[in-house]
Amino acid sequence: MPGYQPVVTATERHEELQRVAAEVFGWPELSGEQLEAMEQIMAGHDVLVVLPTGAGKSAIYQVPAMKLAGVTLVVSPLIALQNDQRESIEASHAPEAVAVNSSQRAGERKNAWKAIEDGKAKYLFLSPEQMSKKDVLDTLAELDISLIAIDEAHCVSAWGHDFRPDYLCLAPVIEQLGHPPVLALTATAALPVREEIVERLGLRDHREVIAGFDRPNLHLAVERFSDDEDKRHTLITLVRSLTKDPGTGLVYVASRKDAEYFADELARAGVRAAAYHAGMKTHGREQVHERFLDGEVDVVVATSAFGMGIDKPDVRFVLHASVPDSLDTYYQQIGRAGRDGEPATITLLYRPQDLGLQKFLTAAKAPEELLGQVAKILREHGSPVRPAFLKDTVDASAARCTKAVNLLEEVGAVRTTGDGRLEYVGRDLPPDQAARQAVEVAERHQRLVRSRIEMIRGYAETMECRRRYLLGYFGERLAEPCGNCDTCDFGTGERKHAEDAEYAVNSTVRHVEWGEGTVMSVEPDRITILFDDFGYKTLDLAAVDENDLLTGDDTTTG
């Protein structure tokens, strides 16, 4: 960009990045974490960044892109998220940002590629699915790509709460493009997730920038119910009270039916509310999204489909009408409140019976017979086949075939080619053995998911500092009770951590039955460990010591 000279020293880079942020994007001051990550990018390193929701992760690629010669490629999972980030760039003085995705007409995609090739656009947004297409890869190979930013990077991790198999294709694509600096961005990633992000994206000589997970302006609370009708009535009353200030907020529900129900009930109660869920047409969802951002809707009642990429600073409350699937999801969703730094209300309406629904959703067994059929057909066919051929041949639904293929990809038996075909690559791995390995992976996933549900139960039922419990899940130690949660309000959250605990957070230990694991949190009477094969386990320390259940390094490694 005219007016910007090459930068040599770290100090000059620091000053120049601040100047670009202010002059081009209107950001008067970058945070220490943002600057550190940007400087590592400018130095040519791969970088993994973990910043809370609303901490300005997108700035970390937008600003350095202005100083890099080529195109910045942004991999983002949702079209709505891509659109939000593109609009923020277009509202600045930066060059054009374009996206290529499945919702566009052929002419729109052609114009987007032309803008990149002509140098008019500097930011290119693609989904992981687009990155696996041969024509897209061929075009990318002709471009000068100076930075690859991967948003929602936790999606590549099987440990992550939002695993997306499409992210598995990114590492080989990065190598095909010559491995320019890679920026992996996420808002929530405990140590095992971070390790898998690094491994599965193939990050080299990487640096990590990890901010604290605490959001002290959020007041955390749980209200417990035994009767569902009582819970529903309380939620309506609570929302009416919270919107009188006035205030805007989000209500998360477990089903599309509940989204419609609560939106209708709130509207009848005089609240400007709208439902949002995956069953709505794209236009309808986009309309709710825009009306919420523009202040025409005060409350969005949504399934987990809503919120990724929402950049509304004045959300004053986030309520959950039922338990989410994990504390990872919960943390990400509540992080949409109070981004302006002002106080915000976070309340989980908890009914223990609701945990049964989450357990039911994780109860399905991996289809070993189907896995074996898919592996055998692909191996015997010898050449890549289209997914439709596979579905017709094994007489199974597209969803079941996709699940089988994803599991076989995870064990290295199958891969998706650049044009979307499926190919058997485990030549030394017999189909029946590949199927058994895939079943083991699926069972490990299920154990992890179920253990996450138990961690949600622990959060909802703890009588100690609720923030301490939540942060401990992510391996962050809070030395003192927070003073801004319901248990602290009631005076039950005052228990202190043992200062000389035998086991350190993020250290590696070995259990006599469950094998190796990572210490996530330590309390005076119990320890929570994430085991590689069995998920989260909370153990009584007295029983651990009495039965000599744990061995391992007692020093902090993270």
Contact at 8 Å (CB) between 515 and 531? yes
For residue 480, tell me if it sits in a domain: no
- The reply to whether 268 and 327 lie within a common domain is yes
Domain CATH code at residue 416: 1.10.10.10
**CA nearest to 57, candidates 444, 339, 341, 434:** 339
Low-confidence winner among 168-182, 288-302, 414-428, 446-460 (lowest mean pLDDT):
414-428
> In the predicted model, is pLDDT for residue 222 greater than 60?
yes
Query: Average pLDDT for residues 387-401, to the nearest whole number?
Result: 81
Average pLDDT in the chain: 86
Mean local confidence (pLDDT), 304-316: 75
| Domain stops at, among 443, 474, 508 | 443
The answer to the question of residue 465 being in a domain is: no
User: Do the domain assignments include residue 82?
Assistant: yes
| 294 and 181 together in one domain | no
Q: Is the pLDDT of residue 316 over 90?
A: yes
Query: What integer is the mean pLDDT of 459-474?
Result: 89
> CATH number for the domain including 190?
3.40.50.300
The reply to whether 83 and 65 lie within a common domain is yes
Determine the pLDDT at residue 558. 41
Length of the chain: 558
For residue 362, give the nearest of 405, 326, 410 by alpha carbon.
326
Q: Quote helix, strand, coil % in the chain, to nearest 5.
A: 45, 20, 40
Question: Is residue 556 pLDDT above 50, yes or no?
Answer: no
User: Using CA atoms, how far apart are residues 550 and 545, in angstroms rounded to an integer?
Assistant: 8
At 358, is the pLDDT very low, low, confident or very high (cuts 50, 70, 90)?
low
Q: Answer positive or negative: Cα dihedral of 157, 160, 165, 166.
A: negative
**183 part of a folded domain:** yes
Question: Residue 354 domain-assigned?
Answer: yes
Pick from 131-145, 250-264, 281-295, 508-522 the range whose average pLDDT is largest: 250-264
What is the span of the domain harbouring residue 505? 497-558
Residue with tokens 């990318």: 140
What gap in Å lies between CA 86 and CA 65, rounded to an integer? 14
What whole-number distance in Å separates Cα of residue 534 and Cα of residue 448? Answer: 6
Pair (75, 192) in one structural domain: yes
Q: Quote the CA–CA distance of 137 and 158 in Å, as a whole number.
A: 25
* Residue 444 pLDDT class (50, 70, 90 cuts): confident
Question: What is the pTM (predicted TM-score) of this model?
Answer: 0.76
Domain-located, residue 455: no
Last residue within a domain, chosen from 210, 239, 256: 210
d(CA 303, CA 260): 10
Cβ neighbours of residue 3 closer than 8 Å, sequence gap 6 or more = none
| Residues 188 and 94 both lie in one domain | yes
Q: Is residue 474 part of a domain?
A: no
Domain boundary residue, one of 443, 468, 489: 443
Q: Let me know whether 310 and 275 are in one domain.
A: yes
Are 206 and 222 within one domain? Answer: no
What phi and psi values does residue 219 have, to the nearest 5 degrees?
-85, 120
178-202 b/e (C-beta count within 10 Å ≥ 16 → b):
eebbbbbbbbbbbbbbbbbbbebbe
Most confident range (mean pLDDT) of 36-45, 365-374, 493-502, 540-549 is: 36-45
Q: How confident is the model at residue 261 (pLDDT cuts 50, 70, 90)?
A: very high
393 & 339 share domain? no
Tokens of 377: 């057909």
Instruction: Quote the pLDDT of residue 391.
Output: 77
Number of domains forming the structure of the chain:
4
Exposure b/e, 85-124, CB count within 10 A at least 16 = b: bbebbeebebbebbbbbeeeeeeebeebbebbeeeebbbb
CATH number of the domain encompassing residue 546: 2.30.30
Say what the pLDDT of residue 5 is. Answer: 46
pLDDT of the residue at 2: 40
Please report, in angstroms and rounded to a whole number, the separation of the first and last CA atoms in the chain.
39
Q: What is the pLDDT of residue 73?
A: 97
DSSP class of 455: H
**Cα–Cα distance, 273 to 309 (Å, whole number):** 20
Mean pLDDT to the nearest integer, 116-125: 94
Q: Tell me the pLDDT band of 368, cut-offs 50, 70 and 90.
A: confident
241: left (phi over 0), alpha (psi -120 to 50) or beta: alpha
* Residue 537 sits in the same domain as residue 389: no
At residue 364 the predicted structure's pLDDT band, cuts being 50, 70 and 90, is low
Pairing outcome for strands 207-210 and 218-224: unpaired
Give Cα 131 to chain centroid, integer Å.
19
- Give tens-digit pLDDT for 95-112: 999 999 877 888 999 999
> Residue 165 is encoded by which pair of tokens?
């198999």
Q: What are the tens digits of pLDDT across the range 404-420?
A: 888 898 888 988 776 67
One domain for residues 50 and 198: yes
Among 250, 454, 455, which Cα is nearest to 346's? 250
* DSSP secondary structure letters along 48-77: EEE--TTS-STHHHHHHHTTSSSEEEEE-S
At 160 the pLDDT is: 63
**Does residue 381 share a domain with residue 355?**
no
Range name among 37-46, 107-116, 124-133, 515-524 with the lowest pLDDT average: 515-524
Cβ neighbors of 501 (< 8 A, separation 6 or more) are: 522
Question: Taking 50 as the threshold, does the pLDDT of residue 530 lie above it?
Answer: yes
All residues at 6 or more sequence positions from 51 whose CB lies less than 8 Å from its CB, including other chains: 33, 34, 57, 185, 187, 209, 211
Does residue 322 sit within a domain? yes
Res 385: pLDDT: 85
Asked if the bond preceding 246 is cis, omega within 30° of 0, the reply is: yes
Residues 381 and 504 both lie in one domain: no
